Structure 1
Amino acid sequence: SAAAVIRDLSGDCTAERDRLVALGCIEQILKTSADFPTAVEVQDICWVAVHHFADGSTENQARIATLDGIELVLKTLQIHPGALLVQQHALEALELLVGDDAD
């Protein structure tokens, strides 16, 4: 499962594992959005969010280790036409990761 791979990559470091989960979810959104007509706009929004949360500041590094960053991406996607399917896929990916991690 995705959670098992993340655990293997991050060892016992919870913060690093959380960061990988957040980045993995954003990556999934980017990959999924490639199937839709508005993919370029949606990907641009996602990359802006990634750079915002990973800009090197301690505060933003901490935020990307939470689901706050993903929530912002999902909320931002709402303003784009055709983003509903992308949002649904992203939420499914989140549920899968969270569900696997709970095991």
Structure 2
Amino acid sequence: MGLGVPFNIASYSLLTCMIAHVTGLKPGDFVHTLGDAHVYLNHIEPLKEQLKREPRPFPTLKFKRDVNSIDEITMEDLVLEGYKPHKKIQMEMAL
């Protein structure tokens, strides 16, 4: 939950926006369903710290140019506006 889920949410949300951009559609809601959700013992304290934080508004993703293929999109095409992250919480990879 502490490492994989946030990465998956960001990755698949970006992919959703990229597909919408290429097809000229507006992205809808991203719904993430969990199966076998679990928290590793070494993530309990960092996650408690995270839960104490006040949520901040979501940033906005903008594209600098129109493209015809998702393969044409580069990092230089993306602008993330209003991203105000909290301080990093260290979590070790559970093996």
State whether TM-score is above 0.5. Answer: no
Compare the two structures and name the one with the higher helix fraction.
1
Q: TM-score, normalised by structure 1?
A: 0.29
Q: TM-score, normalised by structure 2?
A: 0.30
Structure number with bigger Rg: 2
